[in-house]
Amino acid sequence: MSDGTVLSDTAADVVKEILAECRAATLPALREAVGELHPRLARISAYHLGWCEPDGRPTGVHAGKMLRAALAVLAARAFGASTRTAVPGAVATELVHNFSLLHDDLMDADELRRGRPTAWVVFGPGPAVLAGDALLSKALRMTAEMKGTPEQPAGRILTGAVSTIIRGQAADLGLDGFPVDRVAVDDYLAACAKTSGLLGGCVAAGASLANAPATGVRTLQAAAWDLGVAWQVADDVESIWGDPAASGKPAFGDLRRDKRTYPVIAALRSGTAAGSRLAGRLSSSGARGEDELAELARLVDEAGGRAKAERIAREHLDRALHLLGKTGGDPVAVDGLAALFRHVLDRHGRRTSAPAATPAMRGAAR
């Protein structure tokens, strides 16, 4: 996904500075929030966040970039608020995000995250689910104390985002093993709400805490929704063709789960010979070995599924950036948001192997 998405060295440095500054401002409050949980659940959450080993020994690192917190902070700054004003919203979004990851890892049976065994593998499914519930409960308690624009209070925005995430996750579960002759893009887009819902909540809550105009809040939320679609599609590409050493996850992840992600859907709907062969292979039952998974990935690529997914991701990113320009926010903060938006696709591109399909093959899905 390198076409048009790789950041220049200068832009990459700007993103690093933004993330480092926002992380420094919000991490202490996030640690405090997690520390207030039941001790066992606090340890599971801290392990999941990369702060400690399973036995509680500190790692001295924080594995996540806290990108969602940064989005909330910059959205608040765009409408004149200080970083301090945005911190409660930023922390709440990180709590919600990690609640969703703890549950998502279990639902997808993912055994690795950031190169380490996932929390449910280490502590068991029940404790991991309960830790996720505890993070969500803490986030909801925080949102109850938030204010913001009267028409769109930050707390209401974030609780609405949680509902949207859950609806999206329900739709996402429906993509597992979906019959190849009934694959629809609309089903996929409904599942994207699990990503877009929280991103929209991040920026909208930040803007609300800054008492931004309602139109500014809505425009930011719409921009983040498009970013979420771009992010999800890019993540689908990485799940199939990502470098395990860079992503910390095994190759062919979604193909292993027989999930109908965007590259697969595009390939199945391509009308190509490769798409037909892919449909035949996906219709067969039984466990698939590494060679079979590699062949499925090759067929998706040959049918144009990867090329179309990469193009759709870029189109949604472009739409998100266009909407950012219409928010009426402070240009410096808006430029920072734009840099973070671009960073999302750039990060996925750097963790994904180069396409193997020829230009002629790519044209089939266009």
Q: Which of 6-10, 48-52, 289-293 has the lowest mean pLDDT?
A: 6-10
**Which of the 8 DSSP states describes residue 36?**
T
Over residues 172-185, the mean pLDDT reads 79
Closest C-alpha among 106, 105, 355 to residue 248 = 105
- CA-CA distance, 159 to 203, in Å (whole number)? 14
Residue 356: which pLDDT band, with cuts at 50, 70 and 90? low
Highest mean pLDDT among 26-40, 56-70, 168-182, 245-259: 26-40
Over residues 316-345, the mean pLDDT reads 96
Over residues 254-266, the mean pLDDT reads 90
Q: Is the pLDDT of residue 1 over 70?
A: no
CB 131 within 8 A of CB 137: no
Over residues 57-73, the mean pLDDT reads 89
Q: Helix or strand or coil: residue 131?
A: helix
Over residues 5-16, the mean pLDDT reads 73
**What are 185-206's pLDDT values in tens digits?**
899 999 999 999 999 999 999 9
CA 320 to chain CA centroid, Å, is 15
Classify domain 9-363 at the CATH topology level.
Farnesyl Diphosphate Synthase (1.10.600)
Question: What's the angle, vertex CA 268, arms to CA 263 and CA 271, rounded to 5?
Answer: 120
- CA-CA distance, 267 to 264, in Å (whole number)? 5
Q: Is the pLDDT of residue 360 over 60?
A: no
